[in-house]
Structure 1
Amino acid sequence: MRALSIAATGMDAQQMRVEVISNNLANMSTTAYNARRAEFADLHYQQVSRAGTINASDGTVLPTGVQLGLGVRAAAVTMHVAQGSLRATGGELDLAIEGNGYLEIALPSGQAGYTRDGALKRGGDGQILTSDGYALVPDITIPADARSLSVNAQGEVYAYFSDEVEPQLMGQITLADFTNEKGLEAIGGNLFLETEASGPPVIGTAGEDGLGTFRQGYLEDSSIDAVREMTELIEAQRGYELNAKVITAADQMLAATTQIR
């Protein structure tokens, strides 16, 4: 009975949807996290009689035909790109991006990673690093005797020294943008990798060519809407239950068939 396998694909789909929602809720406090959405597509159809074919009995053309669907499959899990609210932290190397753009990170593998997590740190040698210890690109090193830092909206990093009135420019943080942000590959740790789907990064100065600007002393919160996630969780749970009921009904029909004498 096809209903058993069809309902099973529905249960698998709703289970995957719950897993995606679970990941979203688990990352409600993750800096700059964007919600993921599970998307589905119907499976192949069994063509019992094709629309437009000739009816053998009287020669007329069938207007619709008979097509029996075989269930559902996962089509994609896409990232819902949205700006999270900015939260004041007061950290001199906490940088929120207002608008489009990603920070470029040098990974140990030699690849370039990209992130919107602006919770930067100062390493033992003064190098600006991520929370996981990866170096920012372009490389910026702050002298040990710098008493404070200032980062303007364009990403220029200035250091203040005790024996000088005017600050010194240490470097400029750039931003990377992509044609298709949703095509980036998430690798964990708030990091993404370039893919064929995302297109190559376009590196530029903050505030120019459609790129966002920096806000020093702020971090971007996740864009998770808890109410929406809970609503979708209820829908997924009910969808799973309905497919389970179809399996129960199909089982009862098969049981009735076997009891025929």
Structure 2
Amino acid sequence: MHPALYVSQTGLSAQDTKLSTISNNLANVGTVGYKRDDAVFQDLLYQIKRDPGALSSQDSQLPSGLQLGTGVRVVGTVKEFSQGSMQVTERPLDMAISGRGMFQIALPDGSTAYTRDGRFQINSDGQVVTANGHALEPAITIPEGMNEITIGEDGVITGTVAGDPALQNLGQIDLADFINPQGLKAIGNNLFRETEASGNPIVGTPGLDGIGAVSQGMLETSNVDVVTELVNMITTQRAYEMNSKVVSTADQMLQFISQNV
């Protein structure tokens, strides 16, 4: 069979995967704290017919040789952890991180997950939790009757009780940072797990040692740019069509040979 058929097949598969990545980005354009994915391509092995620099005669060398590529593959997807836009909500338990860092979330199995989604609520026990009911770490409990909750840029939570102007310290929010956040494992529900690629979490106080500050009453929106994704989608569609055209052209060539030889 014509080798171009197999090469174009890898191109079709790669562009299909890229389109899936783009569609996931667009689907999550309204997801709080979402970080867009980008597909990474690499060319496949080459068939070396003539080595570059090989002797073409006793006194001359080949300047480039003859190297035939065998296609392309998707080797991974990269999370882009650029800052999303800030949306003002005025809700006291909504928090956004300005800079690096992630909130720590306690999972039911005892492990810790990480998120940029700062939309928190209070459960029946007064504990600060995510929309799925997972507790924020370190655990923060808001006593009954507490009002005027204030969260500082350093993560300190204070509040007052009706009739008592004295501030009460309710806890401290610590953030976790990673040497390689792209190495985190996305597990859904706006959560990530650490991996060997991400490195161990570096836990610290917001606003110190390179960790971002906490902004109360705000949420970080998705960093997906719709226009960029639409341009990428058009580019992917055209690349897919061109690879399809290669399949059609190779088929016509084979048809010509079979009918005329």
TM-score, normalised by the number of residues in structure 2:
0.96
Give 2:163's aligned residue.
Answer: 163
Distance 1:125 1:194 in 2: 29
Give 1:153's aligned residue.
Answer: 153
Give 1:45's aligned residue.
Answer: 46
Give 2:144's aligned residue.
Answer: 144
Distance 2:173 2:110 in 1: 19
- State the SS of the aligned residue for 1:141: coil
Give the superposition deviation at 1:163: 3.2
Give the superposition deviation at 1:164: 1.4
- State the SS of the aligned residue for 1:166: strand
Give the superposition deviation at 1:110: 1.7
User: Residues 45-64 of structure 1: matches in 2 within 5 Å?
Assistant: 45-55=46-56, 60-64=60-64
Distance 1:105 1:87 in 2: 22
- State the SS of the aligned residue for 1:118: coil
Give 1:20's aligned residue.
Answer: 21
Distance 2:53 2:217 in 1: 66
- State the SS of the aligned residue for 2:61: coil
Distance 1:223 1:32 in 2: 8
Moved more, 58-67 or 42-51: 58-67
Give the superposition deviation at 1:147: 2.7
Give 1:90's aligned residue.
Answer: 90
Give 1:172's aligned residue.
Answer: 172
Distance 1:260 1:40 in 2: 39
Distance 1:64 1:137 in 2: 59
Distance 1:60 1:84 in 2: 57
- State the SS of the aligned residue for 1:167: strand
Distance 1:58 1:82 in 2: 56
Runs of 4+ in 1 over 2 A off after TM superposition: 52-55, 57-63
Equivalences, count = 260
Give the superposition deviation at 1:240: 0.2
Give the superposition deviation at 1:145: 2.1
TM-score, normalised by the number of residues in structure 1:
0.96
The one-letter code sitting in structure 1 at the alignment partner of 2:105 is I
Distance 2:220 2:62 in 1: 58
User: Residues 57-206 of structure 1: matches in 2 within 5 Å?
Assistant: 60-206=60-206
Gapped runs of 5+ residues in structure 2? none
Distance 1:117 1:80 in 2: 15
- State the SS of the aligned residue for 1:11: helix
Give the superposition deviation at 1:65: 1.3
Distance 2:204 2:221 in 1: 24
Give the superposition deviation at 1:4: 0.2
